[in-house]
Amino acid sequence: MAPQTDPTNRLDGYRMPPEWAPHRGTWISWPHNPDTWPGCLDKVEASMLDVVAALGEFETVHINVLDSGQERYLEQRLAKRVARGSVQMHRIRTNDAWCRDHGAIFVVGGAGAETPLAAHKFGYNAWGGKYPPYDLDQAVAAQMAAALDVPCIEHAMILEGGSIDVNGEGTLLTTEQCLLNANRNPDLDRAMIEQELKDAFGIERIVWLGEGIQGDDTDGHIDEITRFVTAGTVITAIEPNRDDPNFIPLQANRQSLERVRLSDGTALEIIDLPMPEPVHYRGARLPASYANFYIANDLVLVPEFGVAGDAAAAAVLADCFPGRHVVGIDCRYLVAGLGGLHCLTQQVPVSDVRLS
């Protein structure tokens, strides 16, 4: 289906399900840009092969590739690691690999919806114009929607998928540092941005946190700091070291969460997720965070950074998702690109998710 335009940017009766809701699949744009991962692209690819192998046991993995050559190369690398038919290749060219941010954001429809599944294509400017060129990435979302033959609603507003998180019951998490940043939508105020989010994702309330973590070039994406793990529970990154520059902003975010009340008047349950020890590459501090996990069908992919906190973080997340397999992924080199597991993946929900 061709992209559609709607003056209200609204798909009536649609809502974005939470990440733990059943998936039709997971979408990835394969890493290929050596400028993003200087000197370590081969190690990044090894970790991403592990990601695809883990996901492929539980759901279809869609992979955007540059051309037929890259497609054949990946088919050969994956042949002994995933079952036939569990991976679908799409010749959708990209500038970079951050599918969470440049890809389509999928929503599901309720009774009376035009189709069970639809996609939103928001504006994309590589986190405030930081990494040109991004012309190919700007076109990815519409091509993903076309590949699934679902409606695609185009928005002028700049929005990356990693800047929002939803609980599936009308609440959305985001940060002021990102969505109110002048490098995204200087002509939109908070109220206008909130209305756009409510219309697009079926949201009633928005929880604004403050700042993100050191090394995060996305200007404070929520998926590095705080995530819903149930409709009434969040897991939030905390920094145990008072001398670390992340200590104060993460404490401030936690205090904000303590004041949140859900639609029924109850407080959020808050689970602390300690940050890893600082991770560096070529002298620069990286945005390493265990909050950048990814929830799939019967599976949670958890970042590992080769530090003492890895096992404890995996245990915390295992407690949050009983019954799901918890699989650690080596992210020491993935995060050298200033992103992680969640940033590199985008869920496609099944189209018959019940809307509350």
Q: Beta strand pairing status for 171-175 and 205-209? A: parallel
Of 284, 286, 289, 165, which Cα lies nearest the Cα of 239?
Answer: 289
| CA–CA separation, 208 and 200 (whole Å) | 17
Q: What tokens appear for 328 in the block?
A: 């650690």
State in Å, rounded, how far the first CA of the chain is from the last one. Answer: 28
Q: Looking at the DSSP assignment, which residues form a beta bridge with residue 14?
A: 109
* Residue tagged 């076309």 (tokens): 146
CB 324 within 8 A of CB 77: no
**Given 152, 178, 331, 343, the catalytic residue:** 343
Determine phi and psi for 42, rounding to 5 degrees: -65, -35
Reported as type and span, the H/E element at residue 142 is: helix 140-148
The sign of the dihedral angle between the CA atoms of 100, 102, 104, 105 is: positive
Instruction: Please list, in sequence order, all residues whose beta carbon lies within 8 angstroms of the beta carbon of residue 176, skipping any fewer than 6 positions away.
Output: 208, 209, 210, 211, 220
Catalytic residue check, 152:
no
CB 152 within 8 A of CB 145: yes
For residue 270, CA distances in Å to 19, 33, 44, 323 come to 18, 37, 32, 21
Q: Which residues are catalytic?
A: 343
